[in-house]
Amino acid sequence: MIQENIANSSPKRSNYRKKNSQIKKIAGILRIILHDYRGQIGSAFIILMVVCAIFSPWIAPFDPYEQDILNRFASPSLTHLLGTDYLGRDILSRIIYGSRVAAMVSFGSVCFSAIAGVIIGVIGGYKEGRKLDYAIILVFDIIRSFPQLILALALVAVIGPSVRNLILALAFTAFPFYGRLARAETLSVKEEDYVKAAKALGATNIQIIFKHIIPNTLSPVIVTGGMDLATMIMYEASLSFLGLGVRPPTASWGIMLRNGLTYIHTSPFMIIWPALTIAIAMIGFSLFAESLRIALNPKERKLHE
Amino acid sequence: MNKKLLEVKNLVVEYRLGTNIMRALDNISFSIKKGEVLGIAGESGCGKSSLGLAIMRLLPRAGKISQGKILFKERNLLRLSETEMNREIRGREIAMIFQNPLHALNPVFTIETQMVDIMRFNLRYQQLNINKKNISLKDRAIELLKETGLADPEERISDYPFQFSGGMKQRVMIAMAFISNPPLLIADEPTTALDVTIEAEILVIIKNLVNKYKNSILYISHDLGVISEISDRVMIIYAGKIVEMADSRSLFDDPRHPYTRALLESLPDTKTHKGRLPTIPGCVPPLDKLPKGCSFHPRCLFVEEICKKNTPEFVELAPNHWVACLREGKLGRRTKCF
Amino acid sequence: MLKYVIKRILWIIPTVLGVLILLFSLTYFLPGDPASVMLGPRATPELIKDLNHRLHLDQPVYTRLGYYILGVLRGDLGESVWSGHKVSSLIVNSLPYTIILAVCSMGLAALVGIFLGVFATIYKESIIDHLVTGISLVGVAVPDFVAACLLLLIFAVHLNLFPVLGAGEAGNIADEIHHLILPVISLAIGWIGYLSRLTRETMLEVIDSDYIRVAKAFGIPAKHIYYKYALKNAIIPIITVIGLGIGKLLGGAVLVEIIFNRPGLGKLVVDAVYARDLPVVQGGILMATLLFVLANLIADISYAYIDPRIQYE
**B337 pLDDT tier (thresholds 50, 70, 90):** very low
Q: What is the pLDDT of residues C80-106, one digit of tens each?
A: 767 778 888 888 888 888 998 999 999
Residue B1 has pLDDT above 50, yes or no: no
Distance CA B9, CA B21 (A): 21
Q: Does residue C190 contact residue A238 with C-beta atoms inside 8 Å?
A: no
Neighbours of chain B (3+ CB pairs under 8 A): C
CA distance A288 to chain C (A): 12
Q: B162 and C210 in contact by Cβ < 8 A?
A: no
Please indicate whether residue B281 or residue B337 has the higher confidence score (pLDDT): B281
Phi/psi at A228 (5° precision): -65, -30
Interface pTM (ipTM) of the complex?
0.83
**B130 pLDDT tier (thresholds 50, 70, 90):** very low
Q: How far is CA A66 from CA A86, A246, A251, B15, C94, in A?
A: 12, 18, 11, 68, 41
Beta pairing class for B75-76 and B63-72: antiparallel
Q: What is the pLDDT of residues B325-336, one digit of tens each?
A: 887 767 665 554
**C41 pLDDT tier (thresholds 50, 70, 90):** low
Q: Does residue A301 contact residue A290 with C-beta atoms inside 8 Å?
A: no
First to last CA, chain C: 8
Question: What pLDDT sits at residue A304?
Answer: 55
Interface of C with A in 6-45 (CB under 8 A): 11, 14-16, 18-19, 22-23, 26-27, 29-31
Question: What pLDDT sits at residue B276?
Answer: 73
Q: Does residue B265 contact residue B336 with C-beta atoms inside 8 Å?
A: yes
Distance CA B274, CA B285 (A): 29
Q: How far is CA A220 from CA A19, A128, A214, A224, A294, in A?
A: 21, 20, 11, 6, 11
Neighbours of chain A (3+ CB pairs under 8 A): C
Question: What pLDDT sits at residue C178?
Answer: 82
Quick one: CA torsion of C155, C158, C160, C166, rounded to 10 degrees?
Answer: 70
The answer to whether residue B104 neighbours chain C at the CB level (below 8 Å) is: yes
Number of cross-chain residue pairs from A and C with Cβ atoms under 8 Å apart: 126
Give the angle A264-A267-A271 at the CA atoms, nearest 5°.
60
The helix (run of H) or strand (run of E) holding residue B22 is strand B20-33
Chain A residues touching C255 at Cβ < 8 A: 149, 238, 241-242
Query: Which residue in C218, C219, C309 is closest to B107 by CB distance?
Result: C309
CA distance B206 to chain C (A): 18
Query: What's at B271, amino acid-wise?
Result: K
Q: Does residue C280 contact residue C80 with C-beta atoms inside 8 Å?
A: yes
The helix (run of H) or strand (run of E) holding residue B2 is none
Q: What is the pLDDT of residues A3-43, one digit of tens each?
A: 555 555 555 555 566 667 777 777 777 777 777 777 888 88
**B323: nearest Cα among B270, B209, B246, B232:** B246
Select from C214, C223, C235 the residue whose CB has the most chain B CBs within 10 Å, as the one to mutate to test that interface: C214
Phi/psi at A95 (5° precision): -70, -40
Q: What is the pLDDT of residues B262-280, one digit of tens each?
A: 888 777 766 666 677 777 7
Query: Which residue in B92, B108, B109 is closest to C219 by CB distance?
Result: B92
The answer to whether residue C157 neighbours chain A at the CB level (below 8 Å) is: yes
Query: Which range has the worst mean pLDDT, A270-284, B78-92, B133-147, B251-265?
Result: B133-147
Per-residue pLDDT, averaged over B17-43, amounts to: 88
Spatial neighbors of B9 by CB under 8 A, at least 6 apart, are B29, B68, B69, B70, B71
Distance CA B238, CA B260 (A): 10
**B175: nearest Cα among B154, B153, B148, B193:** B148
Query: Which residue in A141, A234, A257 is closest to C15 by CB distance?
Result: A141
Residue A127 has pLDDT above 60, yes or no: yes
Q: Report the side by side order of strands in the sheet with B241-247.
A: B94-97, B184-188, B216-221, B37-41, B233-238, B241-247, B321-323, B315-318
Per-residue pLDDT, averaged over C25-29, amounts to: 73
First to last CA, chain B: 47
Per-residue pLDDT, averaged over C108-116, amounts to: 93
Average pLDDT, chain C: 82
Query: Which residue in A157, A264, A278 is closest to C143 by CB distance?
Result: A278
Q: B103 and C221 in contact by Cβ < 8 A?
A: no
Q: C214 and B98 in contact by Cβ < 8 A?
A: yes
**C62 pLDDT tier (thresholds 50, 70, 90):** confident
Q: Does residue B27 contact residue B12 with C-beta atoms inside 8 Å?
A: yes
- Say what percent of chain C tops pLDDT 90: 12
CA distance C112 to chain A (A): 21
Query: Which range has the worst mean pLDDT, A135-139, A215-219, B102-106, B220-224?
Result: A215-219
**A274: nearest Cα among A261, A289, A265:** A261
**A56: nearest Cα among A92, A97, A107:** A97
Interface of C with B in 209-228 (CB under 8 A): 209-222, 224
Question: What pLDDT sits at residue B75?
Answer: 87
Q: C216 and B162 in contact by Cβ < 8 A?
A: no
**C23: nearest Cα among C292, C279, C294, C293:** C279
Question: What pLDDT sits at residue C313?
Answer: 42
Secondary structure of residue B24 in the 3-state scheme? strand
Q: How far is CA C257 from CA C265, C271, C295, in A?
A: 9, 11, 20
Dihedral sign, Cα of residue A273, residue A284, residue C104, residue C244: negative
C76-92 burial, b at 16+ Cβ within 10 Å, e below that, comes to: bbbbbbeeeebbbebbe
CA distance B38 to chain C (A): 20
Question: What pLDDT sits at residue B60?
Answer: 85
